[in-house]
A and B are shown apart, each in its own frame.
Chain A
Amino acid sequence: DTGVSQNPRHKITKRGQNVTFRCDPISEHNRLYWYRQTLGQGPEFLTYFQNEAQLEKSRLLSDRFSAERPKGSFSTLEIQRTEQGDSAMYLCASSIFRDRVDGYTFGSGTRLTVV
């Protein structure tokens, strides 16, 4: 298992276009998370899946954002009608809860630039 994989690594898009990012978690991990990291800030929680169920969405996730995790495997994050303020690094992480320990593994992120 090579860890959490995110594609693409970089995406440049014009304002108003739709973009979709993909995250492939570690196969045995049932929990999957999306975070957003803007320049000079720490990552901020966006959403959480346990298996295929999306259990929490942050208020940061406007109606233009949607995330899915079909069959509890990979996940996609779609942003519709992108705005310049959406420019950020989008991080995916996965984990499995064992013995009071829930160790996150992060992917390398997708850097989105909206021009």
Chain B
Amino acid sequence: AQTVTQSQPEMSVQEAETVTLSCTYDTSESDYYLFWYKQPPSRQMILVIRQEAYKQQNATENRFSVNFQKAAKSFSLKISDSQLGDAAMYFCAYRNSGGSNYKLTFGKGTLLTVNP
């Protein structure tokens, strides 16, 4: 079974600074997807960024980028120019691309605080 570990229960960052959230995972599959989701206090989970394991290039979405290290099974999220609206719970998630490719496995989350 796949597992996802987020070792930072809480992180804080000053507005306009950069912060990196860590995630490691365990799988025996070679093809899979990794995700970062944001869950603001309103509780609706929103997709931040997606990485396909077969792609070597790290995904970027505006101020959000990932550092995907497949051999190390590491998938960190970097938020640049942090904004107050970035404050939320962030979850790292894994999904197979083959069998059971519909099911997401989540980490426990990192609570990000953005200080003005």
Contact = CB atoms under 8 A, between A and B. Distances in A.
The number of chain A residues touching the other chain, given as a range, is 20 to 34
B45 A91 contact: yes
Given A43-B45, A108-B42, A109-B43, A102 B105 contact: no
Contacts of A100: 52, 97
Interface residues of B, number: 22
Interface string A77-107: 0000000000001010101010010111011
Interface of A: 31, 33, 35, 40-45, 48, 50, 56, 89, 91, 93, 95, 97, 100, 102-104, 106-109, 111
Interface of B: 4, 42-47, 52, 91, 93, 95, 97, 100-109
8 contacts: A33-B102, A40-B109, A48-B102, A102-B101, A104-B47, A106-B45, A108-B42, A109-B43
